[in-house]
């Protein structure tokens, strides 16, 4: 068997890596807890604090706070002043782990906990096949919305819409837009707010996500956006042809049960001069080609424990998160898109953006 030099490591090196991995895996769960409990935000806002002060600031149980501080201090995320017994976060670290930063990595740490939460059921899938539907992931939509708030929402007008020349002007003038697999609808609500002359429709199979999207639209007083619970695999049957000028999907194709039907449906509802803008996970599509992918293990693992398994649960294609650019392009062409341009954005290295026209 041939392996590349990059794959070959000395046994001592492998052992060291495995030990580091155990520490880092545990720390990822601590990052998730630090985010959810507000501990990172509180510590970053008022540094330094003792464990008792931090517990009071956050209203949390001191014994748990102290043990968490043990993990994140020995993990070199938080610093301890041995003289005063107070803990602090350096500003550079705060920028990466709090809600004040624009790239809060603690948001992504929640996926590690999400993976662990289904381990027993996933082991059963290894033995019996099949998959786990969305109902097994009660926090998924919440975490996903936080994730896409950083990769999509923050860059929507500045980077993503400009991928299509002239689109910003068309949105300002007034066009019809559909977002498929809209989740909690934050991207669409933002577009609707920014472009009052355009009309926006969001569809998702999750009633919980659609309820959230509607509630936010109402709270913001948006009258040009509607959300519906719909199976995107039935677009071609249930929506008129050529109803939209722009269709978007944000990270919402690779985990579909019937991605081919979804893409054909998107082509069907798109006007002939319309554009389909798809953000989806970028990869080579092969294990060998992904060896140097900076997020390879995380994304394959997330695929196995979420994106692939939700598709397989519905007897679907199970493409998986790392389906890869070549296969994505083939699916888009097979769905009837004559031109498919692939673009990438510096703020979002894990995704490719496909600009597709009939
Ligand atoms: C990875 S999430 C992305 C959500 C959202 N676009 C975002 O970026 O936050 C994929 C979404 O596709 C939705 N979805 C999955 N299968 C669907 C289907 N057959 N029809 C409509 N939506 C579906 C899920 O409920 C989920 O909200």
Each residue of 20-36: pLDDT tens digit? 999 999 999 999 999 99
Same domain assignment for residues 348 and 205: yes
Q: Where a domain ends, among 48, 75, 101?
A: 101
Strand order in the sheet with 225-229: 225-229, 199-204, 176-180, 244-250, 270-281, 351-357, 339-343
Can you count the helices (H) and strands (E) in the chain? 16, 9
CA of 33 to the centre of ligand 1 (A): 25
Q: CA-CA distance, 320 to 257, in Å (whole number)?
A: 10
Q: What is the CATH number of the domain that holds 72?
A: 1.10.10.10
Q: Is 327 exposed, middle or buried (0-12, 13-18, 19+ CB in 10 A)?
A: middle
Render each residue's pLDDT in the chain as its tens digit; 358 residues.
Answer: 566 655 678 888 999 999 999 999 999 999 999 999 999 999 999 989 999 999 999 999 999 999 999 999 999 999 999 999 999 999 999 999 999 877 899 999 999 999 999 999 999 999 999 999 999 999 999 999 999 999 899 899 999 999 999 999 999 999 999 999 999 999 999 999 999 999 999 999 999 999 999 999 999 999 999 999 999 999 999 999 999 999 999 999 999 999 999 999 999 999 999 999 999 999 999 999 999 999 999 999 999 999 999 999 999 999 999 999 999 999 999 999 999 999 999 989 899 999 999 9
Q: Are 216 and 174 in contact (CB under 8 A)?
A: no
Provide the domain limits for residue 273. 118-357
Distance 355 CA to ligand 1 centre (A): 19
Task: Judge whether 342 and 352 are in contact, CB under 8 Å.
Answer: yes
Q: Do 265 and 345 fall within a single domain?
A: yes
- In a shared domain, residues 273 and 137: yes
> Is any ligand 1 atom within 6 A of the Cβ of residue 314?
no
C-beta of 200 in contact with ligand 1 (< 6 A):
no
Tokens found for residue 206: 């999750």
What angle, rounded to 10 degrees, do the helices at 105-117 and 11-36 form? 100
**Per the structure, how many domains does the chain have?**
2
Same domain membership, residue 231 and residue 341:
yes
């Amino acid at each position: 068997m041939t392996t590349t030099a990059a794959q070959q490591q000395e046994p001592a090196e492998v052992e060291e890596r495995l030990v580091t991995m155990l520490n880092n895996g545990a720390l990822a769960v601590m990052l998730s807890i630090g985010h959810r409990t507000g501990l990172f935000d509180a510590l970053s806002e008022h540094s330094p604090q003792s464990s008792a002060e931090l517990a009071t600031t956050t209203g949390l149980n001191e014994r748990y706070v102290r043990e968490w501080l043990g993990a994140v201090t020995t993990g070199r995320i938080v610093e301890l002043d041995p003289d005063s017994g107070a803990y602090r976060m350096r500003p550079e670290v705060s920028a990466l782990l709090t809600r004040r930063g624009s790239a809060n990595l603690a948001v992504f740490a929640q996926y590690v906990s999400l993976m662990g939460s289904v381990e027993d059921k996933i082991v059963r899938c290894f033995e019996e096949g099949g998959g786990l539907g969305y109902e097994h992931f009660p926090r998924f939509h919440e975490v996903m919305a936080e994730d896409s708030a950083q990769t999509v929402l923050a860059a929507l007008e500045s980077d993503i819409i400009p991928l299509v020349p002239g689109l910003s002007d068309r949105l300002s003038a007034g066009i019809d837009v559909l977002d498929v697999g809209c989740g909690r609808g934050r991207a669409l609500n933002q577009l609707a707010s920014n472009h009052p002359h355009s009309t926006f429709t969001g569809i998702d199979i999750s009633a919980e996500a659609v309820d959230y999207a509607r509630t936010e639209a109402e709270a913001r007083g948006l009258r040009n956006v509607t959300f519906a619970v719909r199976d995107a695999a039935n677009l071609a049957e249930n929506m008129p042809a050529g109803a939209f000028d722009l269709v978007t999907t944000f990270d919402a194709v690779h985990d579909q049960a019937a991605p081919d039907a979804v893409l054909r449906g998107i082509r069907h509802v798109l006007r002939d001069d319309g554009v389909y803008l798809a953000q989806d996970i970028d990869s080579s599509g092969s294990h060998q080609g992904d060896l140097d992918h900076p997020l390879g293990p995380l994304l394959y693992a997330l695929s196995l424990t979420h994106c692939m398994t939700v598709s397989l649960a519905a007897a679907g294609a199970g493409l998986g998160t790392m389906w890869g650019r070549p296969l994505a392009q083939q699916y888009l062409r097979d769905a009837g898109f004559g031109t498919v341009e692939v673009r990438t954005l510096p703020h979002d290295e894990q995704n490719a953006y496909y600009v597709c026209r009939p």
